[in-house]
Amino acid sequence: MKTIFAAALLSTALSPVALAQDSEGWAGNADVNALVTSGNTSQTSFGLSGKATYASGLFRHTVGGYYDFNKSSGETDRERFGADYNLAYDFSEKLFFTATVAYDNDKFGSFRQRFSANAGLGYKAITEKNFDLTLEAAPSVIFTLNLSGEDYVTDYAALGRSTLNWKITDTTTFKNITEINLGGRTLIENKSAIQFKITKALSSKLSYDIRYDNDAPADRRKTDTIFRAGLSYGF
């Protein structure tokens, strides 16, 4: 018999619609999804991600994190986690300063550990009521511990990032984040999520992530993908 379970934890939550820039205080999000099967196939999958933003005047502080785990037929084939912090300061209604530091750990991916940092400018290209698009550009530095476990490799790159938020209806929202690092190491990441509101606080959520690492080892694929389905609680 096969059983499938999906659940979400209560937490501070940021919906796929961007946090209003003139709001004050905290907002955030946390999502949990799980999959358990038994019988002819045995699989256990668990995912947790979250983000919290504190806005005060012209400043915004955002912290985030994630954890993904998967075990098939008793063998773990995915375990990755990470965290990041972003500082943003508005120069005007459109232009802002942005700086990010991040850490990623991926035991079964194209690297073992990675630290990255960048600082540059962002521009709010579109700021409609139900649709907004933000563009960012910055120099970045990436420290990678490869699977061989030797010393960290340092790469310098140019970072480009776009963030799209679309409130399709009163109950449906879509978000997409695309991030590209070009230089000593080519990294591309795309995250898409669609959320359907069930009640004022509770929503179902589907997301799909793509990661591309041009410098992945010969025995590892350059592209990793992950699909998540679960519930989200927010306020």
- Please determine, looking at this structure, whether the domain spanning 25-233 carries the CATH number 2.40.160.40: yes
Q: How does residue 19 score in pLDDT terms, banded at 50, 70 and 90? A: very low
Q: Read off the pLDDT of each residue in 159-170 and give the average, rounded to a whole number.
A: 97
176-227 pLDDT per residue, tens: 999 999 998 899 999 999 999 998 878 999 999 999 998 887 778 889 888 8
**More confident position, 151 or 157:** 157
Q: Alpha-carbon distance 73 to 131, whole Å? A: 43
Is residue 193 a contact partner of residue 199, using CB atoms and an 8 Å limit? no
Q: Which residue has the tokens 């938020």?
A: 165
Q: Which residue has the tokens 């410098």?
A: 215
pLDDT for 20: 40
pLDDT for 218: 75
Q: Which residue has the tokens 């955002």?
A: 62
Q: What is the pTM of this model?
A: 0.84
For the chain, give the percent of residues with pLDDT over 70: 89
- E strand or H helix that includes residue 115: strand 113-127
